[in-house]
Protein backbone atom coordinates (compact mmCIF):
# COMPACT_ATOMS: atom_id res chain seq x y z
CA UNK A 1 0.00 0.00 0.00
CA UNK A 2 0.98 3.65 -0.36
CA UNK A 3 2.92 5.21 2.52
CA UNK A 4 3.35 8.84 3.59
CA UNK A 5 7.09 9.26 4.08
CA UNK A 6 6.97 12.85 5.26
CA UNK A 7 5.85 16.40 4.69
CA UNK A 8 7.45 19.29 2.83
CA UNK A 9 6.74 22.96 3.30
CA UNK A 10 7.87 25.50 0.72
CA UNK A 11 7.07 29.04 -0.26
CA UNK A 12 5.76 29.47 -3.79
CA UNK A 13 6.71 33.06 -4.53
CA UNK A 14 7.35 33.83 -8.23
CA UNK A 15 10.75 34.98 -6.93
CA UNK A 16 11.73 31.31 -6.79
CA UNK A 17 10.91 30.53 -10.41
CA UNK A 18 12.52 33.78 -11.53
CA UNK A 19 15.76 32.87 -9.73
CA UNK A 20 15.86 29.45 -11.39
CA UNK A 21 14.99 30.69 -14.86
CA UNK A 22 17.66 33.40 -14.76
CA UNK A 23 20.42 31.15 -13.40
CA UNK A 24 21.08 32.88 -10.10
CA UNK A 25 22.29 29.80 -8.23
CA UNK A 26 25.61 31.38 -7.33
CA UNK A 27 24.47 34.96 -6.79
CA UNK A 28 24.92 35.70 -3.05
CA UNK A 29 21.57 37.51 -2.88
CA UNK A 30 19.74 34.52 -4.31
CA UNK A 31 21.81 31.54 -3.20
CA UNK A 32 19.94 30.92 0.10
CA UNK A 33 16.82 30.14 -1.92
CA UNK A 34 18.66 27.42 -3.83
CA UNK A 35 20.27 26.09 -0.65
CA UNK A 36 16.87 25.54 0.90
CA UNK A 37 15.49 23.70 -2.08
CA UNK A 38 18.69 21.67 -2.40
CA UNK A 39 17.87 20.21 1.01
CA UNK A 40 14.35 19.29 -0.10
CA UNK A 41 15.63 17.77 -3.34
CA UNK A 42 18.21 15.69 -1.51
CA UNK A 43 15.60 14.30 0.89
CA UNK A 44 13.17 13.52 -1.94
CA UNK A 45 15.90 11.64 -3.79
CA UNK A 46 17.14 9.84 -0.67
CA UNK A 47 13.66 8.66 0.30
CA UNK A 48 12.84 7.63 -3.28
CA UNK A 49 9.62 9.61 -3.33
CA UNK A 50 7.31 8.38 -6.09
CA UNK A 51 4.47 10.87 -5.78
CA UNK A 52 4.20 14.34 -4.31
CA UNK A 53 0.75 15.44 -3.19
CA UNK A 54 1.04 19.14 -4.03
CA UNK A 55 -1.04 21.64 -2.03
CA UNK A 56 -1.09 25.11 -3.58
CA UNK A 57 -3.30 28.02 -4.48
CA UNK A 58 -3.77 29.38 -7.95
CA UNK A 59 -3.35 33.16 -8.32
CA UNK A 60 -6.45 33.91 -10.39
CA UNK A 61 -4.86 32.31 -13.43
CA UNK A 62 -6.62 29.02 -14.16
CA UNK A 63 -9.31 29.50 -11.51
CA UNK A 64 -11.21 32.76 -11.93
CA UNK A 65 -13.81 34.44 -9.75
CA UNK A 66 -16.71 33.18 -11.87
CA UNK A 67 -16.24 29.73 -10.32
CA UNK A 68 -14.05 29.71 -7.25
CA UNK A 69 -14.05 26.56 -5.14
CA UNK A 70 -12.53 25.77 -1.75
CA UNK A 71 -10.85 22.45 -2.59
CA UNK A 72 -10.13 21.43 -6.19
CA UNK A 73 -8.31 18.15 -6.81
CA UNK A 74 -6.40 17.56 -10.02
CA UNK A 75 -7.29 14.26 -11.68
CA UNK A 76 -5.23 14.64 -14.84
CA UNK A 77 -2.14 12.90 -16.19
CA UNK A 78 -0.33 16.08 -17.20
CA UNK A 79 -0.08 19.64 -15.87
CA UNK A 80 1.36 22.28 -18.19
CA UNK A 81 2.78 25.65 -17.19
CA UNK A 82 0.21 28.46 -17.24
CA UNK A 83 0.62 31.79 -18.97
CA UNK A 84 0.33 34.37 -16.18
CA UNK A 85 0.51 37.35 -18.45
CA UNK A 86 4.01 37.39 -19.91
CA UNK A 87 4.10 33.92 -21.43
CA UNK A 88 4.46 30.55 -19.70
CA UNK A 89 7.69 29.43 -18.06
CA UNK A 90 9.87 27.09 -20.09
CA UNK A 91 9.48 24.11 -17.76
CA UNK A 92 8.49 20.54 -18.41
CA UNK A 93 4.92 19.54 -17.58
CA UNK A 94 4.35 17.74 -14.31
CA UNK A 95 3.13 14.15 -14.69
CA UNK A 96 0.00 13.28 -12.76
CA UNK A 97 -0.71 9.95 -11.05
CA UNK A 98 -4.19 9.12 -12.33
CA UNK A 99 -4.88 6.15 -10.11
CA UNK A 100 -3.92 7.81 -6.85
CA UNK A 101 -5.69 11.08 -7.67
CA UNK A 102 -8.94 9.31 -8.53
CA UNK A 103 -8.68 7.18 -5.39
CA UNK A 104 -8.06 10.23 -3.19
CA UNK A 105 -11.04 11.97 -4.77
CA UNK A 106 -13.35 9.06 -3.96
CA UNK A 107 -11.98 8.83 -0.44
CA UNK A 108 -12.35 12.53 0.40
CA UNK A 109 -15.93 12.64 -0.90
CA UNK A 110 -16.73 9.51 1.10
CA UNK A 111 -15.36 11.36 4.14
CA UNK A 112 -17.83 14.19 3.44
CA UNK A 113 -15.49 16.76 1.89
CA UNK A 114 -17.32 18.55 -0.92
CA UNK A 115 -14.56 18.42 -3.51
CA UNK A 116 -14.28 19.92 -6.95
CA UNK A 117 -12.06 18.35 -9.60
CA UNK A 118 -10.07 19.69 -12.53
CA UNK A 119 -8.58 18.43 -15.77
CA UNK A 120 -7.02 20.23 -18.70
CA UNK A 121 -6.04 23.30 -16.69
CA UNK A 122 -2.49 24.68 -16.59
CA UNK A 123 -0.80 25.40 -13.27
CA UNK A 124 0.76 28.71 -12.23
CA UNK A 125 3.64 29.70 -9.97
CA UNK A 126 1.80 28.51 -6.86
CA UNK A 127 2.46 24.99 -8.10
CA UNK A 128 5.46 25.39 -10.39
CA UNK A 129 7.80 27.64 -8.39
CA UNK A 130 8.57 24.99 -5.76
CA UNK A 131 8.14 21.91 -7.93
CA UNK A 132 10.50 23.17 -10.62
CA UNK A 133 13.24 23.46 -7.97
CA UNK A 134 13.19 19.70 -7.37
CA UNK A 135 14.83 18.94 -10.71
CA UNK A 136 18.58 18.94 -11.19
CA UNK A 137 21.11 19.10 -14.02
CA UNK A 138 19.67 15.85 -15.36
CA UNK A 139 16.25 17.42 -15.91
CA UNK A 140 12.95 17.81 -14.05
CA UNK A 141 12.05 15.76 -11.02
CA UNK A 142 11.10 12.35 -12.45
CA UNK A 143 8.22 11.50 -10.11
CA UNK A 144 4.48 12.08 -10.35
CA UNK A 145 2.14 14.53 -8.67
CA UNK A 146 -1.38 14.90 -7.38
CA UNK A 147 -2.30 18.61 -7.08
CA UNK A 148 -4.80 20.12 -4.68
CA UNK A 149 -5.75 23.74 -5.41
CA UNK A 150 -7.10 25.53 -2.34
CA UNK A 151 -9.21 28.66 -2.74
CA UNK A 152 -7.66 31.03 -0.20
CA UNK A 153 -7.84 34.34 -2.10
CA UNK A 154 -11.56 35.13 -2.02
CA UNK A 155 -13.25 35.25 1.36
CA UNK A 156 -14.77 33.33 3.01
CA UNK A 157 -12.17 30.54 2.98
CA UNK A 158 -12.08 27.27 4.91
CA UNK A 159 -10.81 27.57 8.46
CA UNK A 160 -7.47 26.32 9.75
CA UNK A 161 -9.39 23.56 11.52
CA UNK A 162 -10.98 22.45 8.24
CA UNK A 163 -7.53 22.30 6.63
CA UNK A 164 -6.33 20.08 9.47
CA UNK A 165 -9.30 17.74 9.13
CA UNK A 166 -8.72 17.50 5.38
CA UNK A 167 -5.13 16.46 6.09
CA UNK A 168 -6.32 13.70 8.40
CA UNK A 169 -8.72 12.47 5.73
CA UNK A 170 -5.92 12.64 3.17
CA UNK A 171 -3.84 10.25 5.27
CA UNK A 172 -6.67 7.70 5.25
CA UNK A 173 -7.02 8.12 1.50
CA UNK A 174 -3.34 7.60 0.71
CA UNK A 175 -2.82 4.69 3.09
CA UNK A 176 -5.79 2.85 1.57
CA UNK A 177 -4.40 3.03 -1.96
CA UNK A 178 -3.22 -0.50 -2.87
CA UNK A 179 -0.19 0.36 -5.00
CA UNK A 180 3.24 0.37 -3.32
CA UNK A 181 4.17 4.09 -3.39
CA UNK A 182 6.32 6.44 -1.37
CA UNK A 183 4.32 9.66 -1.02
CA UNK A 184 5.35 13.07 0.27
CA UNK A 185 2.82 15.78 1.15
CA UNK A 186 4.06 19.19 -0.04
CA UNK A 187 2.36 22.33 1.22
CA UNK A 188 3.19 25.59 -0.51
CA UNK A 189 2.66 29.29 0.15
CA UNK A 190 3.79 31.86 2.65
CA UNK A 191 5.44 32.67 4.82
CA UNK A 192 4.56 36.18 5.95
CA UNK A 193 3.78 38.67 3.21
CA UNK A 194 1.17 41.10 1.97
CA UNK A 195 1.02 42.20 -1.64
CA UNK A 196 -1.94 44.58 -1.68
CA UNK A 197 -2.89 47.89 -0.11
CA UNK A 198 -0.91 50.25 2.07
CA UNK A 199 0.32 47.28 4.08
CA UNK A 200 2.09 45.84 1.01
CA UNK A 201 5.59 44.66 1.89
CA UNK A 202 4.66 43.62 5.42
CA UNK A 203 6.90 40.88 6.93
CA UNK A 204 7.01 39.29 10.38
CA UNK A 205 9.98 36.96 10.67
CA UNK A 206 9.40 36.37 14.38
CA UNK A 207 5.93 35.00 13.63
CA UNK A 208 7.28 32.92 10.75
CA UNK A 209 9.75 31.19 13.06
CA UNK A 210 7.07 30.66 15.68
CA UNK A 211 4.74 29.21 13.05
CA UNK A 212 7.33 26.69 11.89
CA UNK A 213 8.13 25.65 15.46
CA UNK A 214 4.45 25.17 16.31
CA UNK A 215 3.81 23.29 13.08
CA UNK A 216 6.42 20.75 14.12
CA UNK A 217 5.72 20.40 17.85
CA UNK A 218 2.27 21.83 18.71
CA UNK A 219 0.12 22.11 15.56
CA UNK A 220 -3.08 22.14 17.61
CA UNK A 221 -2.31 25.75 18.55
CA UNK A 222 -2.30 26.70 14.87
CA UNK A 223 -5.48 24.75 14.19
CA UNK A 224 -7.45 26.91 16.61
CA UNK A 225 -6.33 30.24 15.16
CA UNK A 226 -8.73 32.37 13.10
CA UNK A 227 -8.01 33.68 9.61
CA UNK A 228 -7.96 37.21 11.02
CA UNK A 229 -5.17 36.22 13.45
CA UNK A 230 -3.11 34.75 10.61
CA UNK A 231 -3.61 37.95 8.62
CA UNK A 232 -2.61 40.15 11.55
CA UNK A 233 0.52 38.15 12.29
CA UNK A 234 1.64 37.26 8.77
CA UNK A 235 -0.15 39.58 6.33
CA UNK A 236 -3.41 39.01 4.50
CA UNK A 237 -1.82 36.94 1.72
CA UNK A 238 0.45 35.32 4.32
CA UNK A 239 -2.68 33.72 5.79
CA UNK A 240 -2.37 31.15 3.00
CA UNK A 241 -0.04 29.22 5.35
CA UNK A 242 -3.18 27.55 6.66
CA UNK A 243 -2.60 25.21 3.69
CA UNK A 244 0.43 23.87 5.56
CA UNK A 245 -1.99 22.43 8.12
CA UNK A 246 -3.28 20.04 5.46
CA UNK A 247 0.25 18.69 5.19
CA UNK A 248 0.75 18.51 8.95
CA UNK A 249 -2.65 16.92 9.48
CA UNK A 250 -1.70 14.17 7.03
CA UNK A 251 1.36 13.26 9.11
CA UNK A 252 1.40 11.27 12.32
CA UNK A 253 1.96 12.90 15.67
CA UNK A 254 5.58 11.71 15.64
CA UNK A 255 7.71 13.62 13.16
CA UNK A 256 11.42 14.33 12.85
CA UNK A 257 12.69 17.71 11.71
CA UNK A 258 15.04 17.10 8.78
CA UNK A 259 15.40 20.64 7.46
CA UNK A 260 14.15 24.14 8.23
CA UNK A 261 15.20 27.45 6.68
CA UNK A 262 13.78 30.93 6.15
CA UNK A 263 15.09 33.78 4.00
CA UNK A 264 13.42 37.17 3.58
CA UNK A 265 15.11 38.98 0.67
CA UNK A 266 12.17 41.07 -0.55
CA UNK A 267 8.41 40.95 0.05
CA UNK A 268 8.04 37.29 1.09
CA UNK A 269 9.83 35.30 3.76
CA UNK A 270 10.82 32.28 1.68
CA UNK A 271 10.81 29.07 3.69
CA UNK A 272 11.72 25.43 3.13
CA UNK A 273 10.85 22.66 5.57
CA UNK A 274 11.06 18.87 5.70
CA UNK A 275 9.34 16.77 8.37
CA UNK A 276 9.87 13.02 8.25
CA UNK A 277 6.96 10.90 9.40
CA UNK A 278 7.83 8.47 12.21
CA UNK A 279 4.41 6.88 12.47
CA UNK A 280 4.11 3.13 12.13
CA UNK A 281 2.42 1.07 9.47
CA UNK A 282 -1.33 1.60 9.15
CA UNK A 283 -3.64 -0.97 10.66
CA UNK A 284 -4.59 -3.44 7.94
CA UNK A 285 -8.14 -3.89 9.24
CA UNK A 286 -8.67 -0.12 9.35
CA UNK A 287 -7.41 0.18 5.78
CA UNK A 288 -9.81 -2.50 4.56
CA UNK A 289 -12.69 -0.90 6.42
CA UNK A 290 -11.93 2.43 4.79
CA UNK A 291 -11.90 0.89 1.32
CA UNK A 292 -15.34 -0.57 1.98
CA UNK A 293 -16.47 2.82 3.25
CA UNK A 294 -15.28 4.45 0.02
CA UNK A 295 -17.26 2.04 -2.17
CA UNK A 296 -20.42 2.04 -0.10
CA UNK A 297 -22.40 4.73 -1.95
CA UNK A 298 -21.93 3.22 -5.43
CA UNK A 299 -21.90 -0.46 -4.52
CA UNK A 300 -24.04 -2.27 -7.08
CA UNK A 301 -24.66 0.72 -9.36
CA UNK A 302 -22.18 -0.54 -11.93
CA UNK A 303 -24.08 -3.82 -12.29
CA UNK A 304 -27.43 -2.18 -13.14
CA UNK A 305 -28.28 -3.25 -16.68
CA UNK A 306 -27.96 -0.41 -19.17
CA UNK A 307 -26.27 1.89 -16.64
CA UNK A 308 -22.84 3.49 -17.09
CA UNK A 309 -21.72 5.49 -14.03
CA UNK A 310 -19.71 8.52 -15.13
CA UNK A 311 -16.56 8.12 -13.07
CA UNK A 312 -13.34 10.12 -13.03
CA UNK A 313 -11.71 7.37 -15.06
CA UNK A 314 -14.37 7.59 -17.80
CA UNK A 315 -14.23 11.37 -17.69
CA UNK A 316 -10.46 11.51 -18.15
CA UNK A 317 -10.41 8.92 -20.91
CA UNK A 318 -13.02 10.86 -22.89
CA UNK A 319 -12.25 14.46 -22.01
CA UNK A 320 -11.47 15.42 -25.61
CA UNK A 321 -14.79 14.40 -27.16
CA UNK A 322 -16.75 15.65 -24.16
CA UNK A 323 -15.01 19.02 -24.38
CA UNK A 324 -15.69 19.20 -28.14
CA UNK A 325 -19.41 18.59 -27.67
CA UNK A 326 -19.62 20.87 -24.64
CA UNK A 327 -18.31 23.70 -26.83
CA UNK A 328 -21.66 23.59 -28.64
CA UNK A 329 -22.85 26.11 -26.04
CA UNK A 330 -20.93 28.70 -28.11
CA UNK A 331 -22.71 30.01 -31.23
CA UNK A 332 -19.58 30.08 -33.38
CA UNK A 333 -18.79 26.45 -32.51
CA UNK A 334 -22.36 25.40 -33.30
CA UNK A 335 -22.21 27.08 -36.70
CA UNK A 336 -19.01 25.32 -37.67
CA UNK A 337 -20.26 22.01 -36.24
CA UNK A 338 -23.15 22.13 -38.70
CA UNK A 339 -21.36 23.63 -41.69
CA UNK A 340 -17.71 22.61 -41.36
CA UNK A 341 -17.65 19.56 -39.11
CA UNK A 342 -14.63 17.80 -40.60
CA UNK A 343 -12.28 20.76 -40.27
CA UNK A 344 -13.59 21.66 -36.81
CA UNK A 345 -13.21 18.11 -35.49
CA UNK A 346 -9.67 17.87 -36.85
CA UNK A 347 -8.71 21.18 -35.27
CA UNK A 348 -9.85 19.81 -31.92
CA UNK A 349 -7.83 16.63 -32.36
CA UNK A 350 -10.72 14.18 -32.53
CA UNK A 351 -9.79 10.68 -33.60
CA UNK A 352 -11.49 9.03 -36.58
CA UNK A 353 -13.38 6.81 -34.16
CA UNK A 354 -14.70 9.86 -32.31
CA UNK A 355 -15.64 11.56 -35.56
CA UNK A 356 -17.52 8.44 -36.69
CA UNK A 357 -19.49 8.31 -33.46
CA UNK A 358 -20.65 11.88 -33.99
CA UNK A 359 -21.21 11.62 -37.75
CA UNK A 360 -23.35 8.52 -37.30
CA UNK A 361 -25.27 9.86 -34.32
CA UNK A 362 -24.29 6.71 -32.49
CA UNK A 363 -25.96 7.76 -29.26
CA UNK A 364 -25.70 4.56 -27.26
CA UNK A 365 -22.17 3.84 -28.46
CA UNK A 366 -21.09 7.28 -27.23
CA UNK A 367 -22.67 6.62 -23.84
CA UNK A 368 -20.94 3.25 -23.59
CA UNK A 369 -17.63 4.85 -24.51
CA UNK A 370 -17.88 7.53 -21.80
CA UNK A 371 -19.52 10.58 -23.38
CA UNK A 372 -21.71 12.16 -20.70
CA UNK A 373 -25.40 12.45 -21.61
CA UNK A 374 -25.57 16.18 -21.00
CA UNK A 375 -23.25 17.02 -23.89
CA UNK A 376 -25.15 14.59 -26.11
CA UNK A 377 -28.27 16.55 -25.19
CA UNK A 378 -26.56 19.69 -26.51
CA UNK A 379 -25.51 17.92 -29.71
CA UNK A 380 -29.07 16.75 -30.21
CA UNK A 381 -30.41 20.27 -29.74
CA UNK A 382 -28.05 21.58 -32.41
CA UNK A 383 -29.16 18.86 -34.82
CA UNK A 384 -32.86 19.41 -34.13
CA UNK A 385 -33.24 16.03 -32.43
CA UNK A 386 -35.56 15.88 -29.43
CA UNK A 387 -34.55 14.31 -26.13
CA UNK A 388 -37.09 11.46 -26.46
CA UNK A 389 -35.56 10.53 -29.84
CA UNK A 390 -32.20 10.12 -28.10
CA UNK A 391 -33.77 8.04 -25.31
CA UNK A 392 -35.40 5.82 -27.93
CA UNK A 393 -32.06 5.32 -29.67
CA UNK A 394 -30.48 4.32 -26.35
CA UNK A 395 -33.14 1.62 -25.95
CA UNK A 396 -32.94 0.43 -29.56
CA UNK A 397 -36.51 1.62 -30.25
CA UNK A 398 -38.22 3.91 -32.72
CA UNK A 399 -39.49 7.21 -31.40
CA UNK A 400 -43.04 5.87 -31.75
CA UNK A 401 -42.22 2.79 -29.68
CA UNK A 402 -40.62 4.90 -26.96
CA UNK A 403 -43.44 7.44 -26.80
CA UNK A 404 -45.94 4.60 -26.49
CA UNK A 405 -44.34 3.74 -23.13
CA UNK A 406 -44.90 7.29 -21.76
CA UNK A 407 -48.04 8.69 -20.17
CA UNK A 408 -47.92 11.67 -22.52
CA UNK A 409 -46.26 11.31 -25.97
CA UNK A 410 -44.40 14.63 -25.88
CA UNK A 411 -41.19 15.77 -27.56
CA UNK A 412 -38.87 18.42 -26.08
CA UNK A 413 -35.30 19.72 -26.11
CA UNK A 414 -32.86 22.07 -24.36
CA UNK A 415 -32.74 24.16 -27.55
CA UNK A 416 -33.80 27.77 -27.46
CA UNK A 417 -34.89 30.42 -29.95
CA UNK A 418 -35.97 29.34 -33.41
CA UNK A 419 -34.84 25.76 -32.91
CA UNK A 420 -37.21 25.12 -30.04
CA UNK A 421 -40.08 26.68 -32.01
CA UNK A 422 -39.29 24.50 -35.03
CA UNK A 423 -39.16 21.39 -32.86
CA UNK A 424 -42.49 22.27 -31.27
CA UNK A 425 -44.11 22.59 -34.70
CA UNK A 426 -42.68 19.23 -35.76
CA UNK A 427 -44.08 17.45 -32.72
For the entire predicted model, the pTM comes to 0.93
Q: Quote the pLDDT of residue 61.
A: 97
- Picking from 407, 337, 332, the residue whose alpha carbon sits closest to that of residue 379 is 337
Q: Are 130 and 325 in contact (CB under 8 A)?
A: no
- Is the pLDDT at 223 greater than 90? The verdict is yes
| Per-residue model confidence as pLDDT tens digits over 170-207 | 999 999 999 999 999 999 999 999 999 999 999 999 99
- Is the pLDDT at 256 greater than 80? The verdict is yes
Torsion of CA 183, 132, 116, 376, to 10 degrees: -110
Residue 418's pLDDT band (cuts 50, 70, 90): confident
Q: Quote the pLDDT of residue 257.
A: 98
Q: Crossing angle for the helix pair 373-383 and 319-326, nearest 10 degrees?
A: 40
What is the secondary structure of 127-147 as a DSSP string? HHHHHGGG-BTTBS--SEEEE
| Per-residue model confidence as pLDDT tens digits over 316-341 | 999 999 999 999 999 999 999 999 99
Q: Quote the pLDDT of residue 416.
A: 86
Residue 280's pLDDT band (cuts 50, 70, 90): confident
What is the secondary structure of 337-393 as a DSSP string? HHH-HHHHHHHTT--HHHHHHHHTT-HHHHHHHT--HHHHHHHHHHHT--HHHHHHH
Q: Which domains does the chain have, with CATH numbers?
A: 3-295 (3.40.830.10), 318-426 (1.10.700.10)
Q: Quote the pLDDT of residue 421.
A: 72
Residue 426's pLDDT band (cuts 50, 70, 90): low
| Per-residue model confidence as pLDDT tens digits over 335-380 | 999 999 999 999 999 999 999 999 999 999 999 999 999 999 999 9
Counting DSSP H helices and E strands in the chain, the numbers are 20, 10
* Cβ atoms < 10 Å from Cβ of 169: 21
Mean pLDDT computed over every residue of the chain? 95
Residue 30's pLDDT band (cuts 50, 70, 90): very high
Does 193 participate in catalysis according to the annotation?
yes
Q: Quote the pLDDT of residue 427.
A: 61
Residue 137's pLDDT band (cuts 50, 70, 90): confident
Does 97 participate in catalysis according to the annotation?
no
Q: Quote the pLDDT of residue 196.
A: 95
User: What is the average per-residue pLDDT within 40-61?
Assistant: 97
Catalytic residue among 193, 290, 312, 316: 193
- Picking from 163, 147, 314, 154, the residue whose alpha carbon sits closest to that of residue 249 is 163
Catalytic residue among 103, 125, 312, 316: 125
User: What is the average per-residue pLDDT within 146-155?
Assistant: 97
Q: Which stretch of DSSP H or E encloses residue 206?
A: helix 205-217
User: What is the average per-residue pLDDT within 42-55?
Assistant: 98
- Is the pLDDT at 425 greater than 70? The verdict is no
Q: Are 318 and 368 in contact (CB under 8 A)?
A: no
Amino acid sequence: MARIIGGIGASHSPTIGFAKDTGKQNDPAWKPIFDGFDAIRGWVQDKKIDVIFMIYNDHITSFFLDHYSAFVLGIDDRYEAADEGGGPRDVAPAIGHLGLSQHIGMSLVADEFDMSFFQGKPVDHGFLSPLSMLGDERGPWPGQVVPLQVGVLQLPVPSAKRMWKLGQALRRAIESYPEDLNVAIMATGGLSHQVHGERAGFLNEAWDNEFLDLLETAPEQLVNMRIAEYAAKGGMEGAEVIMWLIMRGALSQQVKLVHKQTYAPSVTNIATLVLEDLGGEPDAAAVQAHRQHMGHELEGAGSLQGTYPFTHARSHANLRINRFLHALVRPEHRARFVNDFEALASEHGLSEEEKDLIRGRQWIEMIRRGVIFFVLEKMAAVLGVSNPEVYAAFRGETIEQFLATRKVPMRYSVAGGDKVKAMDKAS
